[in-house]
């Protein structure tokens, strides 16, 4: 049994020029000669999305690349279709709507196949935008905030659980989503908030370490010691938040398990903790 890697992408990754994030995905999966599958279930325009990734991975020399659009739960429980996941060295989930993605694949054979690919076969699983948010156990389902955190403005749902006790937000700096992440952390202090910028990826190797690649940064919100009045506020109230801990990891940041600065130790333990099969 060999644990693979997660590549959690904040969306908007370069697909036409340097393709740094996609290049790293191909390399970590074993190279261009390996088998790759692109899952477009989150998208309402799967053929258009596949065309972009088909061209991008083709440019990177990948010949064994396949489009997998699971459109119904019956598809996600179809063993012939799921075989593409079971045989892939690199599994890529595109953007779209994470609620759609989970409504179709959550708890199905496809879901199980991804966990087994990561844990038993050492495959690489990447997700961008909606595909990134769906990778955590607690998934940011919908909601927005304006200038400040707002009670009840953001809703969580069940995700894939490839990484646990975190909530992942994407397009983070570009769409000014810090207040949204703080809203989640205030109401759910046991969860760590992770915000990932566009064309940026957080690479997680369970049991080993993390790395940030791309053009942006990863923001981590830790509310375990936060003092807040959110429980006593009416809906849409702005909570008081005292002693929220924020970390910023720009591209190039890299830490091995057990070697991170003390304030990052909890985050490292959470994201690199070896998962188990559902």
Residues labelled as active-site residues? 129, 171, 198
CA distance 192 to 178: 13
66 has which bridge partners? 37
Exposure b/e, 252-275, CB count within 10 A at least 16 = b: ebebebeebeeebebbbebbbeeb
Contact between 202 and 265 under an 8 Å Cβ cutoff? The reply is no
CA distance 20 to 56: 11
CA distance 166 to 188: 10
DSSP string for residues in 73-141? HHHHT-HHHHHHHHH-SEEEE--S-HHHHHHHHTTSHHHHHHHHHHHTS--EEEEETHHHHTTBSEEEE
Tokens in use for 62? 């990948």
Helix ranges (DSSP H) in the chain: 20-28, 46-59, 73-76, 79-87, 98-105, 109-119, 130-133, 178-187, 265-272
């Amino acid at each position: 049994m060999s644990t693979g890697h997660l590549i959690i992408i904040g969306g908007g990754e370069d697909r036409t020029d340097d393709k740094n994030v996609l290049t790293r995905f191909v390399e970590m999966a074993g190279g261009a000669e390996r088998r790759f599958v692109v899952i477009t279930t989150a998208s309402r325009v799967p053929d258009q999305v596949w065309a972009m990734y088909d061209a991008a991975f083709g440019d990177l020399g990948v010949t064994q690349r396949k489009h997998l659009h699971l459109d119904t739960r019956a598809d996600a429980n179809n063993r012939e279709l799921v075989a593409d996941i079971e045989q892939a060295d690199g599994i890529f989930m595109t953007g779209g709507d994470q609620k759609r993605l989970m409504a179709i694949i959550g708890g199905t054979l496809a879901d199980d196949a991804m966990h087994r690919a990561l844990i038993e076969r050492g495959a690489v699983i990447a997700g961008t935008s909606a595909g990134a948010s769906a990778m955590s156990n607690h998934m940011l389902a919908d909601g927005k905030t304006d200038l400040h955190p707002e009670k009840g403005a953001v809703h969580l749902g069940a995700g894939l659980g490839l990484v646990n006790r975190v909530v992942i937000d994407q397009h983070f700096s570009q769409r000014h989503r810090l207040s949204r992440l703080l809203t989640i952390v205030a109401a759910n202090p046991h969860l760590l908030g992770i915000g990932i910028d566009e064309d940026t990826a957080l690479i997680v190797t369970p049991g080993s370490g993390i790395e940030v690649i791309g053009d942006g940064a990863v923001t981590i919100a830790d509310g375990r010691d936060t003092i807040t009045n959110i429980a006593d506020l009416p809906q849409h109230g702005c909570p008081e938040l005292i002693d929220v801990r924020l970390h910023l990891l720009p591209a190039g940041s890299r830490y091995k398990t057990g070697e991170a600065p003390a304030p990052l130790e909890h985050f490292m333990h959470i994201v690199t903790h070896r998962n188990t099969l559902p």
